[in-house]
């Protein structure tokens, strides 16, 4: 990891409890890339609409590897949203406490 982990994304510096510095940095980057960046926000919403909101993951008659691949793809998209939510929650907590 580079020394850029103090990048200011116009947010108070959240320090989620239970996260290492590397995990904190990852949450901050995810939030900056997919929440505060308009192109990133558009891309992740497209991914949600194109993949997460399409059912089913497994189609009868299709190779089971397809379902395994699609669920892995969906897990990655879900993790981006979970990371953004975790970071946003910490921002709100920090703003309430006045840190």
Tokens of 62: 């299709």
Cα separation, 78 vs 90, whole angstroms: 19
In this prediction, residue 3 has a pLDDT band, given cuts at 50, 70 and 90, of: very low
Task: Calculate mean pLDDT across residues 59-85.
Answer: 86
Other C-beta atoms closer than 10 Å to the C-beta of 59 total 11
Query: What pLDDT, in 10s, does the model give residues 17-50?
Result: 677 888 889 999 999 999 999 999 999 999 999 8
Q: What is the dihedral of CA 51, 80, 95, 4, to 10 degrees?
A: -140
Query: Global pTM?
Result: 0.68
Cα separation, 19 vs 38, whole angstroms: 27
């Amino acid at each position: 990891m580079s020394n850029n982990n103090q990048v200011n994304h116009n947010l108070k510096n959240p320090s989620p409890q239970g996260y290492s510095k590397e995990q904190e940095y990852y949450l901050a980057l995810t939030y900056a890339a997919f929440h505060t960046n308009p192109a990133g926000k558009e891309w992740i919403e497209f991914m949600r609409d194109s993949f997460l909101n399409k059912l089913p993951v497994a189609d009868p008659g299709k190779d089971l590897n397809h379902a395994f691949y699609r669920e892995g793809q969906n897990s990655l998209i879900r993790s981006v949203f979970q990371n953004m939510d975790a970071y946003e929650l910490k921002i709100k907590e920090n703003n309430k406490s006045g840190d």
